[in-house]
Structure 1
Amino acid sequence: MPRSARVFGPAVLLTVAVLATLAGLVVGGGAEPLPLQDAGPVVRWGLPIAKLFVNLGVAGTLGGLIMAVWALTPKQREFGAALDVAAASAAVFTVAAATTTLFTFLSVSGAALTFDDRFGAALGQFLTTIELGQAWLTTTLVAAAVTVLCFAVRNHTALVFVTALALVSLLPMAEQGHAAGTSGHDQAVTGLGLHLVFAGVWLGGLLVIVLLRGIIEPGRLPVVVARYSTVALISFIVVAFSGYVSAALRVGTLDQLATPYGLLIVVKLVALLALGGFGALQRRWLIGRMQRAGASGTGSARTPGAFWWLVVGELAFMGLASGAAAALARTATPVEQVPATDLAQPTPAELLTGEPLPPPPSIENYLTLWNFDPLWVLACGFGIFFYVAGVVRLRRRGDRWPIYRAVLWVAGMLLLFWVTNGGVNAYQETLFSAHMLAHMLLTMAVPVMLVPGAPVTLAARAIHARKDGSRGGREWILLAVHSRFAGVIANPIVAAVLFAGSLWVFYYSGLLRWAMEDHIGHEWMIVHFLITGYLFAQSLIGIDPVPYRLPYPFRLLLLLATMAFHAFFGVALMMGTGLLAADWYGAMGWGTDALADQVLGGGIAWSIGEIPTLALAITVAVQWSRSDERESRRRDRHADRTGDAELEEYNARLAAIAERDARR
């Protein structure tokens, strides 16, 4: 079995995936003829199969890249082989995406496939003017670029950017997963995007291990599998959570699980639970046995054989889940997705955001309403877990870590969770004042708590260093911190310019409207505000290593100058007579003065910065005082060791000068 795993494993995956797709189409009715403009059986059955190969191509691409970047070493043949797998998978991804594009056009237009100018003109119009066609064209072109780069790039660091480009290719697919303007659109886009990424990494990483079975040295196999197992565990959590979010939006209530769509959801759930069991068995039993056998030098064929049988079983269930997912995309959902434009009497808020207005704002509603964003639920959860795990690891080996750092980090993450999922997030899309409150908290309050947590220092001390030439979390973090780019943006002057200047650029350009209309723009906005605020706080009170720090007096001057510029922005909003994004915030239908709400937002921008500014100033002053105390103690210790030799030498020099002057 171990020798044939390279052929048998992928064959099982592909066979089960195709059969599950066909069975799912029969159960869900996804391949039934349409009453109007039916494109024929080839398109009805071919489109889901093409999307299945898109998903498998994505999985192989991401799996090969992630394994090369995270688990494998450039010193070994396995590294180049993993990139070859990624390149071949990206080629499959490209061809499957092009085929899906053609089948999608035939499906929505009802046109017959011909090779005349009229068909070409219609296809060209679909690709260039219709949002669905533009999305699939973008996906195909980016996939083609990733294919070329996987063949051409072998630099370990540059592969991070290739991986990022591969992730970008999934954005159009994620935005197609839920009708625009319908309820829960933002959660559906985020959930589907997370599902695509982590399901692909999970499946693709396992597939790479199977295909590289004859290349990875037997002694290294347990190490590589253990690293993959960590990625697989994270992927399992994300896939389960994002799958629940997507299912809840589309299924609604439990009784809808009896529908064809619900039955396919149940199939995916069964496959997910089975894969979780396989993963637990792998982590708790097989990896340990393989490591012990390798350490003793008496490894038998029994353990590897059991491992490969387990891998083939995992691939079979992954194929089942992949096929069910492809069939689900063609199955009618129990909860009908109705765009706001098709509602009988849509409100302005529903036309703009896809959601009705929340209750009138009040302190109680700000504290009790929730509008969850799956991305930031997971980001905050993982942020707290890994930080606490690092502190626990340090304490178990006898190292100290100040408790106040952990408290501040957890408090900052909880505040970030509330801002991105609580009442502020419920109102920020419809009220400018709520949006400004979110901005100020993200860029000022949250970083002031996170920076003293010193996450880079904790990671450098808690994560085990690798010695085989591969790069894990510690290596990538330190590489990023000491890179030239980090040296530029972490410079105190640059950080201050980014912090204050981005205010004006964001609010007085098209970025504000993009962040309101597009969910991707909204997520970018959150990340941008967090990073600029973090860099500014890091330049003032940071503990983590940076290339350059200003002396303490200049830190206070920089803080005062930057916050004065920041306050001027708030005053400009308060005194302004023009409404920002007037056709957005001014058209929500609150029945109140939108300009007055903008003035309130300006007051928030001006006033809410006072508390973080005071906290930063006090922290800088305390650090300055402690620095002077440490310097004094250092000089006293040096004087005790040398018997005040430097002082006596200095006094003798003064005496000699005085004696010489007296003789003259």
Structure 2
Amino acid sequence: MTPTDARNRTSRPARTSTASGPTSPSWLVTALPAAGLVALAALFAAGTFSGAFTAFANFTDPGAFVRWGAPVATVITELAVALTVGALALAAFVLPRGPLADRALGVAGVAAGVWTLAALVQLVLRFSWSWYLPLDAEGFGPALIEYVTTIPVGRTYLGIVIVAALTAAVALLVRGPVGALGTIALPLLALGMQSSTGHAAGAASHDVAISALFLHLGGAALWIGGLAAIAFVGLRHAATADVIRRYSKIALWCFAAVAVSGVVSAWVRIGSLDGLSTDYGVLLVVKAALLLVLGSLGYLHRSTVVARLSAATTTRNAAIGLFWRLAAVEVGVMGAVSGVAVALGSTAPPVPDDEIVDPTPAELVTGHPLPPEPTVLRWFTEFQWDVIVAFACAAAVLVYVRWTLRLRRRGDAWPVGRMISWCLGILVLFWATNGGAAAYGHVLFSAHMVQHMVLAMVVPLFLVLAAPVTLLLRAVPARKDDSRGPREWVLVLVHSAFGRFMANPVVAAVLFAGGMIVFYFTPLFELALTTYAGHLWMIVHFTLVGYLFANALVGVDPGPARPGYPLRLVLLFATMAFHAFFGVTLTSGTALLVPDWFGLMGRPWGPSAIEDQQKGGAVAWGIGELPTLLLAVGVAISWARSDAREAKRNDRKAERDGDAELEAYNEMLAKKASQAAQERDS
């Protein structure tokens, strides 16, 4: 028993009522393994319906154990990784620091251990099934080693096993919300790796399928795992109400992410409404119906339970009891969804995910058809969707507007111009990542440079002027139970040594300017072109570095120790000169960057690859100057306003003390003049 548990036991009355003991009922914890059985039952029913796990004619049958064991291992793997993610998220964002958060980390460690073993079994059985090689076949071991060392899918599954084992070790070692937040990156990395192995991985919709599947897996894992982790942690009434409120908000966002990504993934795989009549389509409809049931249960949570948590003790306890009853039903439905989802993933979709037949050079290089020759109109009508970024953009606008309305409802003012600036910045971000800049940025270096300049210089300027951190600190209430929500995490980051270092104007300027050299003249550029993860990192990096630089110059949010205005202008013009140098280097260069990409595009329109790269240098030089000029104007205006405010402060001070400072200065001058006169007379 820990000292904290001892204090709790001595400071609270004996368990004479339900208010003194754990509010995670033992029958709910028992219901969690039952949910696993429901998942297996749904898996067998769905698999039998679609025939996904039956032996194929003209192929060696690896055996019923392999055919059914692989999906069973997959169900266990997905439930274990969901519990891992959910427990880590609770420790990082929901539970107060102390025994509850440490218990959640312990749950995550154990779940990750189960995940590791299940993922290892899944790897072996999937290999046996996909290669039609029975487990006792001669040469099975060497073939398995070849699979995990030379075949991309095999390497991916082995990587997931390694990440799972690392997650288990780290989760059991770390403590506190910082440790939980750092650890949660590991299972998210594994989910990203898993999303690259799903349906449509080799089709023209590759990037859309990967981004949608990752959003789907991440949202489902956090949703399912968060609820299961709450039951396993074992809450007490003192913490239950706050935890339910916070989890309810997280679950709502997870439902939105799962719904949106599910619709996109379904459309990619069925192609048209006729595809709903296939086995895959029927299972898809069943899964959608189960998700609607989960959404209805979530609505009951928010409308019935959460609404009563601030009421009298009796009503609050009844609401908490209703939450646990609904949660028991919910985990059962979640188990059924997991089973159907695994069977769905093993069923052939109406739109096959085979490699593109007779691909064009552009399809061979990028995996996408070559877009038509760009025109002014097509820059705004062509799209290349990124589901994750599009969802993040929609969420960013919704959250900012809600926070603004929250301030106004309580009588606080928030400038309309800042809200407009935020919405414009997010709209430009959406266009740069999903519109014409994204569609042509994949095949034209000049278009890619447009995308870079917009992400690094235009979008951050709008976002900085919107003062999002200030809005968050004013609109989001502070937590008082030693847990960390968005407000607390932002304050920790702003005041940390790392945050101060990254926000330092000189550091931000070096990252902003020097980052271009590191990105374009190292393998990072090729990685951003050839992998979705690298592409997503590029978007986040350019936007974040641009935001830090703009915030150091004209921002109003708390954070960096901003230098004087003269030094800000020096940093700005030095950056402008570096941009010009970078642009001239590209404009006059004759060596093609990533020649295996841009040089093999096979475009029947537009300039040659090297001429287009030189055009991109002109873009970096020319387009970058306008935002820089706007920043310079902003610094100058801020400087003038600062001087005006200082003058007003001096005037008010002079009115209060009769201009004592000026009088003292005049007396000092008169005294010195008198002394000088006396010296001359002597």
TM-score range normalised by the length of the shorter chain: over 0.9
Aligned pair 1:599/2:622, yes or no? no
Aligned pair 1:168/2:168, yes or no? no
Q: Summarize the alignment of residues 363-374 of structure 1 with structure 2, pairs less than 5 Å apart.
A: 363-374=376-387
| 8 Å CA contact 1:180, 1:354 repeated in 2 | no
Q: Summarize the alignment of residues 410-489 of structure 1 with structure 2, pairs less than 5 Å apart.
A: 410-489=423-502
Corresponding letter in the other structure for 1:185: H
Q: Summarize the alignment of residues 492-571 of structure 1 with structure 2, pairs less than 5 Å apart.
A: 492-571=505-584
Structure 2 vs 1, CA of residues 331 and 375 (structure 1 numbering), >3 Å: closer, same or farther?
Answer: same
Q: Which residue among 248, 261, 264 is the counterpart of 2:280?
A: 261
Aligned pair 1:336/2:352, yes or no? yes
Mark the runs of 5 or more structure 1 residues left unpaired by the alignment.
none
| 8 Å CA contact 1:2, 1:305 repeated in 2 | no
Q: Distance in 2 between matches of 1:379 and 1:661?
A: 72
Q: Distance in 2 between matches of 1:180 and 1:301?
A: 49
Query: Who is 2:395 aligned against?
Result: 382
Q: Which residue among 82, 99, 119 is the counterpart of 1:59?
A: 82
Corresponding letter in the other structure for 2:290: A
Aligned pair 1:197/2:213, yes or no? no
Q: Distance in 1 between matches of 2:308 and 2:268?
A: 42
| 8 Å CA contact 1:412, 1:450 repeated in 2 | yes
Q: Distance in 2 between matches of 1:178 and 1:437?
A: 32
Deviations 1:307-348 (A, max 9, x none): 2221111112111111111101110111111213xx1x2211
Query: Who is 2:243 aligned against?
Result: 224
Corresponding letter in the other structure for 1:495: A
| 8 Å CA contact 2:24, 2:231 repeated in 1 | no
| 8 Å CA contact 1:28, 1:332 repeated in 2 | no
SS at match of 2:177: coil
Q: Under a length normalisation based on structure 2, what TM-score does the superposition of the two structures give?
A: 0.93
How far did 1:179 drift? 4.6
Deviations 1:502-528 (A, max 9, x none): 111111111111111111111111111
Q: Distance in 2 between matches of 1:390 and 1:307?
A: 27
Structure 2 vs 1, CA of residues 408 and 334 (structure 1 numbering), >3 Å: closer, same or farther?
Answer: same
Q: Summarize the alignment of residues 268-287 of structure 1 with structure 2, pairs less than 5 Å apart.
A: 268-287=287-306
How far did 1:426 drift? 1.3
Query: Who is 2:628 aligned against?
Result: 613
Q: Which residue among 92, 95, 113 is the counterpart of 1:69?
A: 92
Query: Who is 2:366 aligned against?
Result: 353
| 8 Å CA contact 1:9, 1:311 repeated in 2 | no
How far did 1:397 drift? 1.5
| 8 Å CA contact 1:60, 1:86 repeated in 2 | yes
Q: Distance in 2 between matches of 1:484 and 1:410?
A: 31
Q: Distance in 2 between matches of 1:256 and 1:646?
A: 83
Q: Distance in 2 between matches of 1:60 and 1:79?
A: 14
Structure 2 vs 1, CA of residues 578 and 302 (structure 1 numbering), >3 Å: closer, same or farther?
Answer: closer
Corresponding letter in the other structure for 1:337: D
Q: Summarize the alignment of residues 576-655 of structure 1 with structure 2, pairs less than 5 Å apart.
A: 576-591=589-604, 592=606, 593-655=608-670
How far did 1:164 drift? 1.2
Q: Distance in 1 between matches of 2:563 and 2:548?
A: 14
Query: Who is 2:265 aligned against?
Result: 246
Query: Who is 2:18 aligned against?
Result: none
Query: Who is 1:156 aligned against?
Result: 177
Aligned pair 1:398/2:421, yes or no? no
- Identity across the alignment (%): 46
SS at match of 1:220: helix
Q: Distance in 2 between matches of 1:368 and 1:5?
A: 55
Query: Who is 1:80 aligned against?
Result: 102
Mark the runs of 5 or more structure 2 residues left unpaired by the alignment.
1-22
| 8 Å CA contact 1:482, 1:547 repeated in 2 | no
Q: Distance in 2 between matches of 1:380 and 1:493?
A: 29
Aligned pair 1:31/2:53, yes or no? yes
How far did 1:406 drift? 1.1
Runs of 4+ in 1 over 6 A off after TM superposition: none
Query: Who is 2:68 aligned against?
Result: 45
Q: Distance in 1 between matches of 2:364 and 2:665?
A: 80
Corresponding letter in the other structure for 1:275: L
Q: Distance in 2 between matches of 1:419 and 1:516?
A: 15
Query: Who is 1:321 aligned against?
Result: 337
CA-based RMSD: 1.6
Number of residue-to-residue matches in the alignment: 654
| 8 Å CA contact 1:5, 1:308 repeated in 2 | no
SS at match of 1:157: helix
How far did 1:662 drift? 2.6
| 8 Å CA contact 1:195, 1:239 repeated in 2 | yes
Q: Under a length normalisation based on structure 1, what TM-score does the superposition of the two structures give?
A: 0.96
| 8 Å CA contact 1:444, 1:533 repeated in 2 | yes
